[in-house]
Amino acid sequence: MKKLLLAAIALPLLATAAFAQAPIRIGVLNDLSSVYADYQGIGSVIAAQMAADDVGPVAGHKVEILSADHQNKPDVGLAISRKWFDTDGVAVVMDVPNSAIALAVSDLARDKNRMFIGSGAAIDLLTGAKCTPNTIHWTYDTWEAGHALANAVVAGGGKKWYYLTADYAFGDVLQARMSEEVVADGGTNVGAARHPLGASDFSSQLVSAQNSGADVLGLANAGGDSVNAIKQAKEFGLTPKMKIAGPLININHIDALGLAETQGVMGATPYYWDLNDGTRAFAKRFAERHPRHMYPNDMQAGMYSAVLHFLKAAKQLNGEVLDGAKMVAAMKAIPTDDPIFGKGSIRADGRKIHPVYLIETKTEADSKSHWDMFKIMATIPADKAFRPMSEGKCPLVSSAKP
């Protein structure tokens, strides 16, 4: 009887211990308070939590979502990531808009053998010369966005380009990607003006653009910088004369300005909420959780997709997620499939591939609801949307493949 009693006590204790194993911790690192706060911010945290809730515990490990504000400062972002890896048992740092911070966190994840998954990160070096066995680049990048949009705009007659460029690595690379496609397609780059991150006054840059003779204003910036640039370009009277091409334009920009202020603005995106039943259902769930009931953009939707796939790989490894290179290899080996991007894959260089859509703002007359903002102009297939591995110079790629 005593043995039976001890056994009866031991069984629930063992079950409790199984679910009291160290949690799988995911750190969402982004801008929660300034220029990118609406574009990643709390929305990315909500999307990650939705995925964790949908999956539930993995092999007895509870999934926890941590979040922090990197303040667009590399030293702050690195300090948070280092503490997460060294002290808090975080397996993966995710999102990380701001290319300088993303590159630094990618290196740190390699050195610590943890993981970095960039959804808000843009710079294509993450799957190029700076690729590592511990990094996956998920939603979009500067090569895909710059090339896709420039190609479409030049084909539509926008031949002479002038750029407004954020004054850090992301802006430089995004301008370069648009510029090289413009030239390849027979257009001309006539000039550029740089601006600091979080700029509020674009008057001098827009005067230069106005005097350049360009017919396209290329936005090599993002977030609140793009909003301010578009608003002031209209105030300066540029928009009747120049097409605005913003590779990273999404619903947050249009929400901030309205359709009347953004007529004809073009962008490129891997996700739009109104593509199909899966994207619409996710957007509705997301909006119900968002404190301002906003719909998700591509980077926030990408966080949901990335966390789902991360946890799928975690299940295969029985919840053992702290060997970052092993986790990345597992994620690459499994085909991706989710309501956001559908079926896809992760290449050897760490690039997640999926279709990309060229978008243009709707007229107010064509819009049926507040979030009904874009018409789809074209679809670029997954195998054509991103830079060929043979051109990326990623040291992980042993042989040149398309």
pLDDT tens, position by position, 16-68: 444 468 999 999 999 999 999 999 999 999 999 999 999 999 999 999 999 99
SS3 163: strand
Query: Rounded mean pLDDT of 104-121?
Result: 98
pLDDT at 400: 42
- Taking the CB of residue 397, how many other CB atoms lie within 10 A of it? 18
DSSP 8-state class, residue 126: G
How far is CA 25 from each of CA 47, 50, 359, rounded to the nearest angstrom? 15, 14, 36
Would you say residue 69 has pLDDT above 50?
A: yes
What is the distance between the alpha carbons of residues 299 and 302, in angstroms, rounded to a whole number? 5
> Looking at the domain assignment, is residue 257 inside a domain?
yes
Q: Same structural domain for residues 57 and 87?
A: yes
Q: Same structural domain for residues 103 and 187?
A: no
What is the distance between the alpha carbons of residues 322 and 75, in angstroms, rounded to a whole number? 24
β strands within 227-298, DSSP E: 243-245, 266-269
Residue 194 identity (one-letter amino acid):
R
Q: Same structural domain for residues 252 and 381?
A: yes
pLDDT digits (tens, 9 = 90+) for 307-317: 999 999 999 99
What is the distance between the alpha carbons of residues 378 and 397, in angstroms, rounded to a whole number? 30
> Looking at the domain assignment, is residue 5 inside a domain?
no
Which two three-digit tokens encode residue 158?
A: 């926008």
- Taking the CB of residue 11, how many other CB atoms lie within 10 A of it? 10
Beta bridge partners of 353: 345
Range of 252's domain?
143-274+356-385
Q: Same structural domain for residues 156 and 63?
A: no
> Looking at the domain assignment, is residue 205 inside a domain?
yes
Q: What angle do CA 16, 21, 24 make, to 5 degrees?
A: 135
Would you say residue 7 has pLDDT above 60?
A: no
pLDDT digits (tens, 9 = 90+) for 271-289: 999 999 999 999 999 999 9
Q: Same structural domain for residues 214 and 287?
A: no
DSSP 8-state class, residue 125: G
> Looking at the domain assignment, is residue 9 inside a domain?
no
Which two three-digit tokens encode residue 339?
A: 């309501």
Longest alpha-carbon distance in the chain? 93
Number of domain units in the chain: 2
The full DSSP string for 217-235 is EEEE--HHHHHHHHHHHHH
Query: Rounded mean pLDDT of 256-285?
Result: 96
For residue 328, the domain's CATH number is: 3.40.50.2300
pLDDT band at 13 (very low <50, low <70, confident <90, very high): very low
Would you say residue 147 has pLDDT above 70?
A: yes
Q: Is the pTM of this model over 0.85?
A: yes
User: 6: which residues sit within 8 A by CB, 6+ positions away?
Assistant: none
Would you say residue 402 has pLDDT above 80?
A: no
Q: Same structural domain for residues 365 and 251?
A: yes
Among 323, 314, 307, 350, CA closest to 112: 323
Q: Same structural domain for residues 196 and 270?
A: yes
pLDDT at 398: 74
Q: Same structural domain for residues 125 and 70?
A: yes
Residue 108 identity (one-letter amino acid):
L
Q: Same structural domain for residues 362 and 214?
A: yes
How far is CA 11 from each of CA 2, 197, 319, rounded to the nearest angstrom? 14, 57, 21
pLDDT at 20: 60
Would you say residue 227 has pLDDT above 60?
A: yes
pLDDT band at 239 (very low <50, low <70, confident <90, very high): confident
pLDDT band at 187 (very low <50, low <70, confident <90, very high): very high
> Looking at the domain assignment, is residue 14 inside a domain?
no
> Looking at the domain assignment, is residue 187 inside a domain?
yes
Burial (CB < 10 A; 0-12, 13-18, 19+), residue 15, is exposed
Would you say residue 93 has pLDDT above 90?
A: yes
pLDDT at 3: 43
Q: What angle do CA 238, 240, 243 make, to 5 degrees?
A: 75
pLDDT at 139: 98
What is the distance between the alpha carbons of residues 122 and 331, in angstroms, rounded to a whole number? 20
Mean pLDDT, all residues of the chain: 93
Q: What angle do CA 337, 341, 345 make, to 5 degrees?
A: 55
> Looking at the domain assignment, is residue 11 inside a domain?
no
Q: Same structural domain for residues 228 and 280?
A: no
Q: Same structural domain for residues 125 and 30?
A: yes
Q: Same structural domain for residues 128 and 152?
A: no
> Looking at the domain assignment, is residue 49 inside a domain?
yes
Query: Rounded mean pLDDT of 178-207?
Result: 96
